[in-house]
Amino acid sequence: MTLEVIILAAGKGTRMRSALPKVLHDLAGRPLIQHVLDTARELSPDRIHVVHGHGAELVREHLADAEDINWVEQAEQLGTGHAVSQALPDVNPDARVLVLYGDVPLIRAKTLRAMLDQSDDSHPALLTAELNNPSGYGRILRDGKGAVTAIVEEAEASQAERQIAEINTGFMACPAGRLQSWLEEIDNSNRQGEFYLTDVVGRAAQAGATVSAVGCQDSNEITGVNSQAELAQVERCFQARQAEALMEAGLGLRDPARFDLRGSLRFGEDCVFDINVVVSGEVRLGKGVSVGPNCQIIDSEIGDGVEIRANSVVEGVKIADQCAIGPFARLRPGTILESGARVGNFVETKNTTLGEDSKANHLAYVGDATVGQRVNIGAGVITCNYDGANKHPTVIEDDAFVGSNSALVAPVTVGKGATVGAGSAVSRDVPPGQLALTRAEQQVRSGWQRPKKEKKN
């Protein structure tokens, strides 16, 4: 049988207390629904249908690049059964349907495969779980032989039924044609006045279909997000999963509970992260990279033997082998560090290439600059690259020395082997091998007295 996936994503998420549709809230750098879509794609379905409602335009805008989605509008939120019925006209009646949820992002593909293996062209399968506290979930009802006969929602359950520990997770696999006929038989005569997808199970059992129940061993997989607190809970669970997988692959994490990956990370041997490191976007590390505490790395490529010291931010950069960054450094997009370069504490770079073995060790801003090899940039040096309307380049050639507290007013070139004396404001090119000084000559006035405050009586 072919497989088609229906993802229910029409809920408003009132408890989130946010203008953003619930399924677009961020989990590890991606919307909740993106995680569900990625899991669905692991199953290689023939089609994916997303039932949307509240904030439909925003949801579709965020997923505009997803060409494999068939969008289905649920104009009125009349329950899960109603939501699924909106998508079924677009589903091949000979297919098998898998129902997923846009706000339940931790479900694993292997768990869904286990459930799919128990369904066929005549019989549905459910994913169930046994919880110590089943409050809020529908309960699985079985007959004396253990066969599933129905699901009762908690609001409709008797006191005895509420004591049942086996719950419905909401995930279901069912032949599309039979699902359509069973949905046509259910009604909304319940306390919520909704059409429950769970009522299909009772109809299936009454029709003589065997309803298979597959147990979910990890209750985290079925955790839905309905509030900011639940979102935070799911985030920590997802991050723990990622940290475990990364350590299994060889990454050293000083404390896996204090590490966040909000994108993808590739790394070589012997890389070690200290606490509170956040990796976002696409990041690639070479071998032997060391990252200190409280660092953020975003969309960057980092070579072998690089040390990123505490409290540094690295974004959109390329760092060659054996470089050192930080502590308290900020490397902004467009920065390229060549082999052996060093960027120290309270140094900021942007759209800058720092050549081999060059260094800006402290308290400098280097922007829109091309810096050659073995250049020393002293403390307090600024490349004045912006005139209020346009950015201008600074070129510092090999073996130049820029003294502390100097301003290089772009466009300007400091020639090979040239020296800029400390405290200079350089607005014209400095020839190779020459010394540029612009500070006023020091004067000493003998006999001068510092003013003193008069004592009050």
Q: If we measure between CA atoms, which residue out of 345, 353, 400, 338 comes closest to residue 375? A: 400
DSSP structure class, residue 81: H
Per annotation, catalytic residue among 25, 62, 362, 392: 362
DSSP codes, 150-173: EEE-GGG--TTGGG--EEEEEEEE
CA-CA distance, 198 to 7, in Å (whole number)?
16
Locus of tokens 């993802």: 7
Q: If we measure between CA atoms, which residue out of 206, 143, 150 comes closest to residue 178? A: 206
Cα-based distances in Å from 372 to 9, 162, 411, 413: 54, 73, 16, 11
Query: What are the backbone dihedrals phi and psi of residue 239, each rounded to the nearest 5 degrees, phi first?
Result: -65, -35
What contacts 238, CB < 8 A, 6 or more positions away?
A: 27, 28, 35, 105, 106
Q: Is 257 buried (19+), middle (13-18) or exposed (0-12) by CB count in 10 A?
A: exposed
Strand 96-101 and strand 166-175: the pairing is: antiparallel
362 is catalytic: yes
Dig out the tokens for 335 from the structure. Answer: 């920065």
DSSP structure class, residue 411: S
Cα-based distances in Å from 422 to 46, 379, 388, 404: 68, 9, 26, 5
Q: Where are the beta strands (DSSP E) in 194-273?
A: 212-215, 252-253, 259-266, 272-273
Strand 336-337 and strand 272-273: the pairing is: unpaired
Q: 4 by DSSP, 3-state: which?
A: strand
Longest CA pairwise span in the chain (Å):
111
CA-CA distance, 380 to 417, in Å (whole number)?
20
Long-range contacts of 433-441 (CB under 8 A, 24+ apart): none
Residue 405 and residue 382 in contact, taking contact as beta carbons nearer than 8 Å: no
CA-CA distance, 162 to 156, in Å (whole number)?
9
Residue 338 and residue 355 in contact, taking contact as beta carbons nearer than 8 Å: yes
Task: Just list the catalytic residues.
Answer: 362
